A and B are shown apart, each in its own frame.
Chain A
Amino acid sequence: MSVYVASFTSPSSWEVIHDDARDGGHGGTIDPATVVHTTSIDGSPNANFLSITCPVCGATSTHPVGGGAQPSQVQQMFARKLLPPNPEACPCGNLAAGKPTLLTIAHLKTHADQLDGTGRWVVNTGDLGL
């Protein structure tokens, strides 16, 4: 389907799979800091999309906050970007870094609803091991 996070191995290393690569598929590990929000046409970071780069071939995939074909895995990726140990503020400007986990999830659920409609968000604190 794309380049995606298969396992949130540790706070400093995520296991990535690129399953539609020309060689049939490959994977590797990435620094979570290399997963970044995309840039809107006005140059500002877009809270609704994250981009992952394959550590093997450099291909990139962009994932929506609603999760696309893998809601749980992709939504966890959005949540972990904003949560400790390296919390970031939401690029929308309405959630500062370091806010409570449940508030962060509530905030991302708002983005997912706005993008994909109600009932789309599936991740909760238990899924994050928090």
Chain B
Amino acid sequence: MSPWQVAIQSADRLVVGVGTNPDYTFPAGTDFGADYEILTVEDDAEVGVLNAPTSPAWMSVDPPYRVLAEAPTA
């Protein structure tokens, strides 16, 4: 599943949600305002989103999830 997208809080990089399309992207033009950013995940391991949905860890631990490293913003 690549690329996919997450919505993060700009202030603390907290992952608030995952892409709402079936392929885990957001509809083109999605903008949640100044407090949030949409991050495009090109490679789960490389980007380092903690507990990515494709990782078994996503299903074995509770939120919150945080971005560990940055990737190009959508």
Contact = CB atoms under 8 A, between A and B. Distances in A.
A103 B8 CA distance: 10
Interface residues of A, number: 24
- Describe B's contact surface by its main secondary structure: loop
Range for the number of chain B residues in contact with chain A: 20 to 34
A109 B58 contact: no
Contact of B63 (A100, A114, A119): A114
Contacts of A114: 58-59, 61-63
B17 A106 contact: yes
A2 interface: no
Nearest to B30: A102
Top 4 nearest A-B pairs by Cβ distance? A106-B17, A107-B17, A118-B53, A113-B53
Interface of A: 92, 94-95, 99-100, 102-111, 113-119, 121, 124
5 contacts: A103-B36, A110-B16, A114-B58, A114-B63, A118-B1
